[in-house]
Amino acid sequence: MITLLFCILMLAVFGKLAVFAFRAAWGVTKIMVCFVLAPLFLIVLLISGLVYIALPILIIVGVIGFVSSRV
């Protein structure tokens, strides 16, 4: 009986830690995409001569960022 209680409580504690780890990893992933991959993608588009694609993407992201930061 004590072993069963121990297993249930251990799963509860480590389950919460697993959820926290997933949320932290998701936050780090969003930061990496926003500050590393998106600018790198736009720079690659610019260097490869696809300015007509890079500029509208940059404008759309800028407008969305401006509108969402004013809430």
> Residue 11: inside a domain, yes or no?
no
Q: What is the DSSP string of 29-65?
A: HHHHIIIIIHHHHHHHHHHTT-HHHHHHHHHHHHHHH
pLDDT tens per residue, range 26-57 = 888 888 887 888 888 888 888 888 888 888 88
Which residues have C-beta within 8 Å of that of residue 61, sequence separation ≥ 6?
Answer: 38
> Residue 5: inside a domain, yes or no?
no
pLDDT for 12 equals: 83
> Residue 66: inside a domain, yes or no?
yes
> Residue 42: inside a domain, yes or no?
yes
pLDDT-based confidence at residue 70 (cuts at 50, 70, 90) = low
DSSP 1: -
Domain, as residue range, for 61 = 24-71
